[in-house]
Structure 1
Amino acid sequence: MSDSARSRRNITKEGEITEDPMVNALNMDAPSSDIELYSKEVLHSLIADNLPPTPNNFSLYFDRLLEEKSDNLRKQIHSMLELEESNDAENTILLEQSLKQGFTSVKSILNVTATLYKNMSLMTKILDKRKNELSNNPELKDALAIVGTLEGDVSKLNSILRTQSSKMKSIYDDTAKIVKNVENETIFDNQYGVYNKRYLLTKIEQEIGLISEFNHQSSLIMIELSRDLKASVKNEKAITLMTRTIARLLLKTSRRSDIVAHYGNGVFSMLLKHTDIESAKKASERLCDLVASSNFFLADREILLKISIGITDVDSTLSVEEIVVSSMDGIEKAYLAEDKDYFVSLRS
């Protein structure tokens, strides 16, 4: 094979394009589909930014660069991804949900057993009462004997049930310990259908390490339902439903590489990997617009949803706690700023 048949273009540090003699053997310059051409573009972007083309980095850039492409290309690629996607995190979430549902079922069985035991105890008391009533009527000796026999049988059954109930409670306690241990390792927030705080903090810590190694930029945003809105509604159930709506919108607007999590008390967070502050501001603006255009009805009253967002960069010189506090400070500053739904808070 000739050298010209084995060459491909490379980008040098000076930005010049040279020929690499190793890739054309794979027909890289042959006519390709849109997704193949796009994948090459992603790879070139990684190399141009001095990032190793690992599967994780490739996936991040794959999602980020796709935002700039045409609607047709995005739809084509998203449809292909849906067909082949197998997400270990999603499988873990399903496992967590199944485990918690199983624990709930065990708890229900225990409650039913406790109710049955209470009913048997009540039956024993009723038999005692009827026995005393019969004792006052000597002519009913035969009936009294029958009741005495029945009382003995019920007492034996009650004793067996008490023993089984005690064993079931012991099993329940053991199961509760197992579930508690699992919950300490879970990554999913059941209430809002997103990741939980523990998973978020772990991912921020990992991202700090990656930024220290490769010197890219990432951002963290904190989001909460407007406090003014919550104060005007004054309906806890409605506020919970609105907060869940915000969680669904966050998932809708996020990229696959973004981490959407519930930080706590109705405050959500999005870790935007390989995203600088300006891009994070644009993402926040899109999110605010999406929320504002979403209708929420409380009885016959239409409520306009509104959120407040704090934005900060993920600085590798800061701790996880400092980065989170910086983003939370942004929310507080957003409330103080006029006509501003978000605020950038940077720390040095």
Structure 2
Amino acid sequence: MEDDFLAGFGANFGSSSERETQKIQKISGGEFDKFSKSVLEALVKDNVPPIPTNYRIYFEKMLDSQTMTFKKRITEMMELDSKQEGKQVVIEKKVKKSFSALNILLQDMAMIYKNTEVIKEMIAKRMSELSINSGNLALNATLGAMQIDIDRYLALLSRYTYDIKEKFEEVSHTYKSIEEQSDFDPIFEIYNKKFLLHTLELCKEGYEKYNYQNTIVLFKIKDSVLSKLADTKDKNILLKNIAKIISKNIGKGDILAHYQDGIFVLLLQHCNIQNARKIIEGLIERIYNTNFFISSVEVDMNLEVVMSLIKDDLSIDKLLDKMIKMLNTTGKDSQNFAVLD
């Protein structure tokens, strides 16, 4: 009886342990092990050091070629890791939104103060008119008392406005510090120029030391398309739509950033020119097959696209400058993209 009692406990513990073991095996065994090894083999074959950053980039790129079922399982596991970056973007957006609200509040306070000053001047003017045109001492006394009350109110308002302005300047200083450290573009919700240039410098160093193959691609909507949109807001909506399409159709290890003046830069990490050509051809085709409507008017999309391998023979600034100068040689009516050798 005692043995049966203890055996019951043993059976329960055993079944729990077995369930946990099964979970681990489900994640780490069979297909997953083979895929992990194939990623490592690809790194070795390409002579790329299998450090965590490189392994992750290769892992994510090679995952695209797997079955939908396998991709779904791995993506679910990876989502926990990717939430932190998304959380950072959300926090930055909320901080910027709060700062904008504070800025509006300060402007409203200044307007209240200004309008109260106007009311004070109006009362003084009416008192002067009454003293000349009538002998209504009671009304003059009432207006005089009102003016004294307004003076008191203005004194309090001035003090509180000063305090708010002082605190706002502190918040403004903190906001500027956050903005300087931010890696994200507030308009297009992708990486910003600062982060991009820093990453490109690392890619150049990677080519110099390890012959890493990283391809950079510039995208720009033709001026002839944007010029048909008179409103800046509409132009930004169109640019944002392009950024969204590119973001949704690139590997997780790749980076999209806004460089300047509506020019987007796509960094295809550990991707040579040959593979980049295939990726960009498919991406351009997807963009041209998309219908764009701005203010109920369909936009005939036309893109300028230039790509280049990141080497160590040019500075990043000069490389980008050369690529930008080549942009106008491309488009729907000429060549879909150009390659800077």
TM-score normalised by length of structure 2: 0.84
Inter-CA distance 236–96: structure 2 relative to 1 (3 Å threshold): closer
Instruction: Report what 1:111 is aligned to.
Output: 107
Please show how residues 12-27 of structure 1 align to structure 2 within 5 Å. Answer: none
Structure 2: distance between partners of 1:213 and 1:249: 34
Question: Which of 332, 335, 344 is the matching residue for 2:339?
Answer: 344
Q: What SS does structure 1 have at the residue aligned with 2:256?
A: strand
- 1:229 and 2:201 correspond: no
Instruction: Give the superposition deviation at 1:138.
Output: 5.6
Instruction: Report what 1:322 is aligned to.
Output: 318
- 1:42 and 2:52 correspond: no
Inter-CA distance 276–139: structure 2 relative to 1 (3 Å threshold): same
Structure 1: distance between partners of 2:192 and 2:162: 35
Instruction: Report what 2:159 is aligned to.
Output: 163
Inter-CA distance 300–106: structure 2 relative to 1 (3 Å threshold): closer
Given residue 337 of structure 2, which amino acid in structure 1 is its aligned partner? Y
Structure 2: distance between partners of 1:172 and 1:77: 46
Please show how residues 1-348 of structure 1 align to structure 2 within 5 Å. Answer: 32-82=29-79, 84-136=80-132, 139-232=135-228, 236-298=232-294, 301-335=297-331, 339-346=334-341
Unaligned runs of 5+ in 1: 1-26
Runs of 4+ in 1 over 6 A off after TM superposition: none
1:126-176 deviations in Å (ceiling 9; x for gaps): 221232233236642122222212211111211221232233223323332
Structure number with higher relative contact order (C-alpha < 8 Å, ≥ 6 residues apart): 2
Given residue 69 of structure 1, which amino acid in structure 2 is its aligned partner? Q
Q: Identity over aligned residues, as a percent? A: 24
Instruction: Give the superposition deviation at 1:228.
Output: 3.4
Structure 2: distance between partners of 1:170 and 1:274: 50
Instruction: Report what 1:18 is aligned to.
Output: none
TM-score normalised by length of structure 1: 0.82
Q: What SS does structure 1 have at the residue aligned with 2:330?
A: helix
Instruction: Give the superposition deviation at 1:115.
Output: 1.5
Checking the alignment, whether the CA contact within 8 Å between 2:116 and 2:154 is kept in structure 1 is yes
Instruction: Give the superposition deviation at 1:236.
Output: 4.3
Inter-CA distance 243–329: structure 2 relative to 1 (3 Å threshold): same
Instruction: Write 1 or 2 for the structure with the bigger share of helix.
Output: 2
